[in-house]
């Protein structure tokens, strides 16, 4: 059996294991999905109520609702990927299986491939449910939307988010007790600067440059072009190439950093300690 | 150049440990205001060879370095000095190759607790490149062979007793057919019947699969019954290494009685059996 085939089979172990975990925790998954949908709807309702709150007229409510809905849907998609990938170490520390997994004959590339493949599939299903409920709830028309372009943006955005998430996964490796909590700092920073619910131009000037370092900014801008304005796929390139570039840099850099962190943990004995 | 670096690997030597050193507590970096911790030597220039097909026991008090030694062999720790080879492959430079040859049972039965034994074993088997039918059949066969009822194979691990969980851990390690099996106190927490079943299975594995077994234990009866040779480790150093019979024969008689392996152990490691957590 060639090494590649064996490694690919080993990579599938993470997809299958995570599927089993989701199946076993089905009640929790249902609660999480309902929470996610309710959360997304409540943010979109801000758009419906904006006129009443501000007392202003001339607000295009449908546009504002869809603007906010795109924010919640895209952010949900990207943050779910982030949490699944950063949890690659955290969940195993919690269960106490980290040593068993890290002594298996599988490269970190294939290890991460399995975990991220599941993360993307899981997140796509979640996003589809949230999108469907939002469309039905607010009677949103997607007739002019370029759904193929939207999907391409999500996939391109996944790559760069995976790279950042692999960096995040290092924290529980280096800091057994508090590493998992530290990952929230990364996602909170991106939520603030990426224009999830507002244009980045409303941010203070000193904060705006950070928006261009966040892949979520490009996914959100591109998604709004496709779903709000029906931009065709070819016109999405200005949003897609920065995402591919970020992914192309962040994934190998993240894997390198993870390998170094793993060496550090093996040198100092931090794998054994359960946080 | 020392002889050990230029000699061809001996095919009859499963594990070769030469002057292995492992210290903890001084990573070389700390927060400016962080406390300075003294380095603790966990494995202190240990050298030993384990022959192919041998069941080799490592006995020692808690904190003596047994588990650290196993972690060094299983690529989970990097040695600070010396070298460790598994069937001629260096555990640092050829870690991936070594990982295909070994499997390990730790004293903590670590599992995804919501998953069933079969689901946990499927995960383990796939990590080692086994296909689904092969993994599922093998998992069922080994679990039932170890005395688990078919009905519990689909139940969450968290609903099982510690002894049953430990049997699943042993089955998971056997499933990948390792030629070197590292058993770190595998029978701790098992009842006498389960202990005996596991011991029989270890012997069976060695006899039928040409496997070499490195076993750490506190159970002197188990060590005597299973092990071809035994090393007694204390304070990170090997203080005795021989067959159980030879170790007993070399020890002084006590009140006219032949010493047991436990007597040998106590005389070599002192009265203080529990020093600190391993």
Share of chain A above pLDDT 90, in %: 74
The pLDDT, as a whole number, for residue A188 is 95
Grade residue A196 by pLDDT with cuts at 50, 70 and 90.
very high
Using the predicted structure, report yes or no on whether residue A130 has a pLDDT greater than 90. Answer: yes
**What whole-number distance in Å separates Cα of residue A100 and Cα of residue B76?**
9
The pLDDT, as a whole number, for residue B250 is 85
**B65 is written with which tokens?**
């370095």
CATH homologous superfamily of domain B10-24+40-269?
P-loop containing nucleotide triphosphate hydrolases (3.40.50.300)
Q: Which residues of B touch A (CB under 8 A)?
A: 24, 27, 71, 74-78, 80, 96, 99-100, 102, 104, 106, 108, 110-115, 119, 122-124, 126-131, 156, 172
User: CA triplet A8, A12, A15: central angle to 5 degrees?
Assistant: 150
The pLDDT, as a whole number, for residue A180 is 82
Grade residue A145 by pLDDT with cuts at 50, 70 and 90.
confident
The pLDDT, as a whole number, for residue B145 is 84
Q: What is the mean pLDDT of residues A142-170?
A: 91
Q: What is the mean pLDDT of chain A?
A: 91
The pLDDT, as a whole number, for residue B274 is 45
Q: What is the mean pLDDT of residues B107-120?
A: 91
Domain edges within chain B: 10-24+40-269
The pLDDT, as a whole number, for residue B34 is 60
Q: Which residue has the higher pLDDT, A3 or A32?
A: A32
ipTM of this complex? 0.86
Q: What is the pLDDT of residues A224-242, one digit of tens each?
A: 999 988 899 999 999 999 9
Backbone angles phi and psi of A207, in degrees to 5: -90, -25
The pLDDT, as a whole number, for residue B213 is 95
Residue with tokens 């720790």: B77
**What whole-number distance in Å separates Cα of residue A139 and Cα of residue A137?**
6
Using the predicted structure, report yes or no on whether residue B45 has a pLDDT greater than 60. Answer: yes
Which residues in chain B are contacts of A175 at CB distance < 8 A?
Answer: none
Strands B229-234 and B237-242: antiparallel
- Range with lowest mean pLDDT among A186-190, A225-229, A264-268, B187-191: B187-191
The pLDDT, as a whole number, for residue A109 is 92
Using the predicted structure, report yes or no on whether residue A13 has a pLDDT greater than 80. Answer: yes
The pLDDT, as a whole number, for residue B3 is 43
- Asked if A25 and B114 come within 8 Å (Cβ–Cβ), the reply is yes
Q: What is the mean pLDDT of residues A4-17?
A: 90
- Asked if A16 and B100 come within 8 Å (Cβ–Cβ), the reply is no
Number of other CB atoms surrounding residue B191 within 10 Å:
11
Grade residue A52 by pLDDT with cuts at 50, 70 and 90.
confident
Backbone angles phi and psi of B258, in degrees to 5: -65, 135
Q: What is the pLDDT of residues B206-253, one digit of tens each?
A: 888 889 999 998 888 899 999 999 999 999 999 999 999 999 888 877
Chain B interface test: which of A3, A7, A9, A16 (most B C-beta within 10 Å): A9
Number of other CB atoms surrounding residue B75 within 10 Å:
23
From start to end of chain A, where are the E strands? none
């Amino acid at each position: 059996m060639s090494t590649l085939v064996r490694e690919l089979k080993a990579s599938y172990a993470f997809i299958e294991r995570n599927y089993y975990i989701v199946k076993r925790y089905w009640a929790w998954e249902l609660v999480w999905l309902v929470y996610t949908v309710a959360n997304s709807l409540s943010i979109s309702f801000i758009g419906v109520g904006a006129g009443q709150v501000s007392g202003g007229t001339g607000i295009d409510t449908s546009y504002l609702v869809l603007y906010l809905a795109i924010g919640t849907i895209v952010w949900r998609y990207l943050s779910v990927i982030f949490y699944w990938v950063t949890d690659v170490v955290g969940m195993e520390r919690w269960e106490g299986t980290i040593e068993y997994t890290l002594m298996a004959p599988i490269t970190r590339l294939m290890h991460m491939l399995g975990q991220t493949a599941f993360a993307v599939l899981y997140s796509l299903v979640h996003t589809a449910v949230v999108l469907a409920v939002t469309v039905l709830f607010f009677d949103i028309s997607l007739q002019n939307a370029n759904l193929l372009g939207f999907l391409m943006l999500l996939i391109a955005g996944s790559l760069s988010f995976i790279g950042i998430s692999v960096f995040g996964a290092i924290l529980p490796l280096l800091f057994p007790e508090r590493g998992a909590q530290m990952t929230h700092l990364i996602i909170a920073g991106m939520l603030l600067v990426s224009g999830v619910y507002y244009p980045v131009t409303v941010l203070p000037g000193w904060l705006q440059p950070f928006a261009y370092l966040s892949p979520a900014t490009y996914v959100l801008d591109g998604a709004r072009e496709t779903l709000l304005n029906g931009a065709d796929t070819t016109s999405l390139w200005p949003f897609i190439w920065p995402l591919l570039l970020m992914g192309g840099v962040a994934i190998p850099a993240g894997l390198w950093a993870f390998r170094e962190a793993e060496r550090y943990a093996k040198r100092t004995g931090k794998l054994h300690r359960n946080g | 150049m020392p002889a050990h670096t230029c000699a061809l690997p001996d095919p009859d030597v499963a594990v070769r440990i030469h002057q292995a050193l492992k210290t903890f507590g001084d990573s070389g970096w700390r927060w400016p205001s962080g406390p300075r911790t003294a380095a603790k030597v966990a494995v202190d220039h240990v050298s030993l060879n384990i022959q192919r097909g041998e069941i080799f026991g490592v006995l020692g008090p808690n904190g003596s370095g047994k588990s650290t030694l196993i972690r060094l062999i299983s690529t989970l720790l990097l040695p600070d000095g010396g070298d460790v080879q598994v069937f001629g492959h260096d555990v640092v430079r050829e870690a991936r190759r070594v990982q295909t040859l070994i499997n390990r049972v730790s004293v903590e039965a670590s599992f995804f607790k919501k998953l069933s034994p079969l689901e946990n074993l499927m995960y383990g088997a796939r990590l080692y490149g086994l296909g689904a039918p092969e993994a599922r059949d093998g998992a069922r066969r080994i679990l039932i062979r170890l005395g688990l009822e078919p009905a519990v194979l689909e139940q969450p691990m968290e609903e099982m007793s510690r002894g049953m969980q430990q049997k699943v851990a042993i089955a998971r390690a056997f499933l990948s057919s390792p030629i070197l099996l590292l058993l770190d106190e595998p029978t701790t927490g098992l009842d006498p019947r389960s202990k005996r079943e596991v011991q029989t299975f270890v012997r069976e594995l060695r006899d039928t699969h040409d496997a070499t077994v490195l076993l750490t234990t506190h159970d002197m009866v188990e060590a005597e019954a299973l092990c071809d040779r035994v090393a007694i480790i204390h304070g990170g150093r090997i203080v005795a290494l021989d067959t159980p019979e030879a170790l007993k024969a070399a020890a002084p008689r006590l009140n006219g009685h032949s010493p047991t392996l436990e007597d040998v152990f106590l005389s070599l490691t002192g009265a203080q059996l529990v020093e600190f957590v391993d």
